[in-house]
Amino acid sequence: MVAIAPHIQATPLILEGVTWPTFQALIAELTVDPPYQITYGLGQLQIEDRQPQGATENSSLTLHGLSWSTFKRLIEEVGDHRTWRITYVPGALEVRMPLEEHEEPKRLLEDFVTTMVDELGIELRSLGSLTLERAELSRAVEPDSCFYIQNELRVRGRKIHLPEDPPPDLVIESDYTHSSLNRLGIYAMLGVPELWRYSQKTFQVYLLVEGQYQLSDQSLAFPCLPVASIPELIEQSKVIGQRATVRLFQDRIRAWITR
């Protein structure tokens, strides 16, 4: 077992299946600011960000100094069966653990999307937290949810490889705690045309215009989306229930279609 730096207080990230060479590469590349508590043994790597006494628990951990090659080796060895989500930019890997406050709005937004495609009679390919990466850009990100709508037929049944395939038409970000990295900038570089962001009772729609995201009061994929009403609906779900809220949303979409 190997331990680096004294433990103060932190929220651990535990990775299973990490080989010794990858562990050594990670140790060689990690910066000492902020310092980390690192433990390795029998293929299990545990990393903690040293925080001052009394610091509140955080749902994310950022590893500074990692190269693209070490990042790729780490992710491949850990495999797909993990609960945490990643963001990578040159020299930094952020790992986020979903929180209850994060998951509930995300699930409702997913239900709103499926309700709209069903009512409009169009197809959808939902790929959840699909890893979106471009090796030539040294960028990778995992959205809370992503969907192919306008380009669904182009990617139907295909294993997605960017940039040969188009990026998702829509991604959802539910940010209870803000990312330390510029995730919107990564999505813009990948060419994602539309992004929905829900954070602290605020819902925003971003559309990609000439390589930059601009706020919009209307969805590109779903002009029927009642953008201004989404925060109210999500809050209402805490009183009347999630399925009742989805049915209420469905009634509004049907009224829009009838009009």
| DSSP-assigned letters across all residues of 147-187 | EESTTHHHHTTPPP-TTTSPPPSEEEEE-SS--SS-HHHHH
Average pLDDT over every residue of 59-73:
91
pLDDT of residue 11: 62
pLDDT of residue 225: 97
Average pLDDT over every residue of 141-169:
97
Residue 176 — very low, low, confident or very high, per pLDDT cuts 50/70/90? low
Domain tally for the chain? 2
Identify whether residues 239 and 119 lie together within a single domain. yes
Average pLDDT over every residue of 165-181:
84
Domain ends where: 68, 96, 124? 96
- What CATH code is carried by the domain that includes residue 117? 3.90.1570
More confident residue, 223 or 33: 223
* Amino acid letter, 172: I
Identify whether residues 240 and 210 lie together within a single domain. yes
Identify whether residues 170 and 200 lie together within a single domain. yes
pLDDT of residue 190: 97
- Lowest pLDDT segment from 43-47, 185-189, 252-256: 43-47
Identify whether residues 130 and 233 lie together within a single domain. yes
Residue 147's beta-bridge partner residues?
126, 170
Domain ends where: 45, 76, 96? 96
Identify whether residues 124 and 247 lie together within a single domain. yes
- Report the distance separating Cα 38 and Cα 47, nearest Å: 5
**118 SS3 class:** helix
Average pLDDT over every residue of 198-224:
96
Residue 36 — very low, low, confident or very high, per pLDDT cuts 50/70/90? confident
pLDDT digits (tens, 9 = 90+) for 224-250: 999 999 999 999 999 999 999 999 999
Identify whether residues 185 and 207 lie together within a single domain. yes
- Report the distance separating Cα 199 and Cα 177, nearest Å: 8
Identify whether residues 162 and 242 lie together within a single domain. yes
| Average pLDDT of every residue of the chain | 89
Query: What is the Cα 203 distance to its own chain's centre?
Result: 16
Identify whether residues 136 and 72 lie together within a single domain. no
Measure the CA dihedral 188/155/219/211, to 10°: 20
Measure the CA dihedral 176/177/180/184, to 10°: 10
pLDDT of residue 178: 61
Identify whether residues 86 and 71 lie together within a single domain. yes
Q: In this model, does residue 31 exceed pLDDT 90?
A: no
Q: Which domain holds residue 57?
A: 2-96
Q: In this model, does residue 216 exceed pLDDT 80?
A: yes
Tokens for 117? Answer: 């495609």
Identify whether residues 80 and 131 lie together within a single domain. no
Q: In this model, does residue 49 exceed pLDDT 80?
A: no
Count of Cβ atoms closer than 10 Å to residue 96 Cβ: 25
Q: Rounded to the nearest 5°, which phi and psi values hold at 46?
A: -120, 130
- Report the distance separating Cα 47 and Cα 121, nearest Å: 47
Identify whether residues 238 and 126 lie together within a single domain. yes
Cis amide bond preceding 34, omega within 30: yes
Domain ends where: 96, 123, 155? 96
pLDDT of residue 125: 98
What are the DSSP E strand ranges found in the chain? 2-4, 13-16, 36-41, 44-49, 60-64, 85-89, 92-96, 125-126, 132-134, 139-141, 145-148, 170-174, 194-199, 202-209, 212-216
More confident residue, 10 or 15: 15
Count of Cβ atoms closer than 10 Å to residue 1 Cβ: 7
pLDDT of residue 10: 46
Average pLDDT over every residue of 63-89:
91
pLDDT of residue 181: 83
Q: Report the predicted TM-score, pTM, of the whole model to 2 decimal places.
A: 0.88
